[in-house]
Structure formats: structure tokens, C-alpha cells
């Protein structure tokens, strides 16, 4: 698994996870804390999906 994004923004992480799932990727959010927003969480994908995931994240965030 590879980290494609690290953020303390739970809304951003879950939105991007949904975007990646819609693209038939297999992301998951790995939380570093039981309390969202306290420590950054990581958006992870399988090794072979990292490049596609990063491209999709860049496209989505450039359009916001």
C-alpha cells in the first residue's frame, strides 16, 4: 500500500476516497488518531494504483 495523501481534513480525505472508489480504485483512509483532525490521516491505495490515484486527486483538486 502507498500513501497518496496525508491530511487532517477528514472531509477532504473521505471525498477523495469516494472519488477514487468511483474510478474503480481501492483506497482506504488510515487514521493516526481516534480523534479525527488531531493527527493527519493517510489516504492509501494499492501499489499499482498510486499513479492513477495521484492523477485523479490532482484533477479533482485543480477543479475546486
Q: Where are the domains of the chain?
A: 2-62
First vs last Cα of the chain: how many Å apart? 27
Question: DSSP character for 47?
Answer: G
pTM: 0.86
Q: What whole-number distance in Å separates Cα of residue 27 and Cα of residue 15?
A: 11
Mean pLDDT over 27-40 rounds to 80
Q: Which of 35, 23, 26 is nearest to 60 (CA)?
A: 23
Those residues whose C-beta lies under 8 Å from the C-beta of residue 31, and which sit 6 or more positions away, are: 41
How high does pLDDT run on average in the chain? 91
For residue range 2-33, list pLDDT tens digits in order: 999 999 898 999 999 999 999 999 999 998 77
CATH 2.30.40.10 matches 2-62: no
Amino acid at each position: 500500500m502507498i500513501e497518496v495523501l496525508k491530511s487532517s481534513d477528514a472531509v477532504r480525505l473521505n471525498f477523495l476516497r469516494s472519488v477514487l472508489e468511483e474510478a474503480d480504485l481501492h483506497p482506504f483512509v488510515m487514521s493516526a488518531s481516534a480523534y479525527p483532525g488531531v493527527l493527519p490521516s493517510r489516504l492509501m491505495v494499492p501499489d499499482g494504483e498510486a499513479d492513477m490515484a495521484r492523477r485523479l486527486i490532482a484533477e479533482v483538486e485543480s477543479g475546486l
